[in-house]
Structure 1
């Protein structure tokens, strides 16, 4: 995988690293990147698509994720998670996510993340509701 720049993403979500994100090697542990991805995606869906994570009938479940690392980050750094949608299906969405140190042009890490939208009560896939589909459409990178 090539190390992408900011132009490969459509939205940037700021995140501040935390003291406990660092591992014994002095950098953010690899598992924390997945938390950054989850926080950035869900913040976007709540703010721009109206996702109600507490009471809504629709929720999004992660069914696949991966990450490639290019450069380390550490507390106390401010980062931005770049979001892009590479595939928008009927009930699923494939994201491409970039972790950028504030002000840097090249990603420190790039992740892939797949959500399936389901009915909360049954956990059965459903068609992505229109407000969420519209918000996700604005992230499309073809």
Structure 2
């Protein structure tokens, strides 16, 4: 099956002083938070509320990150979200993290998103309005 990734969203996230580890680099856990923020913005851009009180929504079943270049303070992270071909109940997201004013790629990541019934926890078919544009 051909891997087709389509750019879905680009967002900017300011790096805060408190986001750094003792070496002055962006803490490894924050890369996942930045990817999460971009993913939430992408889902909301598709007109879905990210709220556990909603009947259905998205969860991730796998996430990863490859750290290529340390991000230092001060900086503004630029996160690009790409989506792949949708399955019945899931879709892959890929992330690229850059620093504003620098063309180098600082980190990459991915997450497998599954659409679920929030009450039962069971997977559901991806909504058609989420599939649009994938």
Bin for the TM-score computed over the shorter chain: 0.7 to 0.9
In the alignment, structure 1 segments of 5+ residues that lack a partner are 1-7, 138-142
How many Å separate the matches in 2 of 1:107 and 1:87? 24
**Number of residues paired by the alignment?**
128
For the 8 Å contact 1:96–1:112, the answer to whether it is kept is yes
**Pair 1:63-2:68 in alignment:** no
Residue deviations 1:77-120, cap 9 Å, x none? 11110111133211111111001101333310000111111011
Q: Give the distance between the partners of 2:9 and 2:60, measured in 1 at CA.
A: 20
Higher percent of residues as helix: 1
Aligned position for 1:25: 23
- 1 CA distance for matches of 2:97 and 2:125? 29
CA distance in 1, matches of 2:99, 2:122: 38
Flag as ranges the 4+ runs of structure 1 deviating above 4 A: none
Give the TM-score normalised by structure 2.
0.87
- Per-residue deviation, 1:25: 0.5
Structure 2 unaligned segments of length 5 or more: list them.
1-5
Aligned to 1:109: 107
1:51 paired with 2:45, answer: no
Aligned mate of 1:96, from 88, 94, 97: 94
* Distance in structure 1 (CA, Å) of the matches to 2:103 and 2:88: 33
Cα distance, 1:9 vs structure 2: 4.1
Give the structure with the larger strand fraction.
Answer: 2
